[in-house]
Amino acid sequence: MSPALPASIGPYDVKERIGVGAIADIYRAYDPANNREVAIKLLKNGMVERYGPYLRRRAELSARLDHPAIPACYGYVQTDEGAYLVLELVEGTDLLRLLEEHGQFLPPQHITAWAIQVCDVLTFLHTQAEPLLFRDLKPSNIMVGPDGGIHLVDFDIVMGFQPGQRYERIGTAGYAPPEQYEGREDPRSDLYALGATMHHLLTGLDPHHRPPFAFQEIPPSAVNPAVSPALEAAVFKALAYLPVDRFQSAEAMKQALLDCL
């Protein structure tokens, strides 16, 4: 049974709950001061101490994350009662829900087009003066709008990249690359997660239900005959166990995907 819907969160009038997670819930709310609807990401009880700093950093990064495919962040609020982010409300459906609604798997040409857009966002992040790592790319964090454009959501664990830096071992099992489990990430780690996302969408096979890093045991074309050899090769290259064997940039992966179209 879902908890009761709060009437308000701070000065924001809650309209509905639009997302439920282990760490936070997301609400559609009305912002009376600015006469607009927003998304409120409210941390659950007991999560503020660990995850509050991530949400605060997300708000601090908002000026650097000025990109049409990245929802704007209007601020972070922490009080004795809890903590929440105020975000631009993105209309659309995430790719995990779209897959569940569609059936066994999604059309390869649609997946390829979406992945090309994701590569553009990753290029934007990875080529900042201080490169940024997304660190949690997966179908549920990619929204498709009514016009077919994508938005990346849930930037809560984005971090700046410095060679040799060690990171907290955090991410989503099944999509996170091997090196993320060791805290040794770099921009190619996001490309692995994009490959894992594409494999899931192309085959309908949820990586949560398979042994870690076992994607290449099942060629996408063996499940979905509509997957071309070129697309399969691009997905497998992104999913290489060692970063040196993957695409070396999001732009290089984008060019390979464009060739598939």
Q: Is 136 a catalytic residue?
A: yes
- Beta-ladder partners of 9: 12
Tokens 């509050």 belong to residue: 52
- Could you tell me which of 171, 119, 111 has the C-alpha nearest to residue 144? 111
Choose, from 25, 136, 156, 186, the residue flagged as catalytic: 136
Phi, psi of 259 (to 5 degrees): -65, -30
Query: Which residues have a catalytic role annotated?
Result: 136
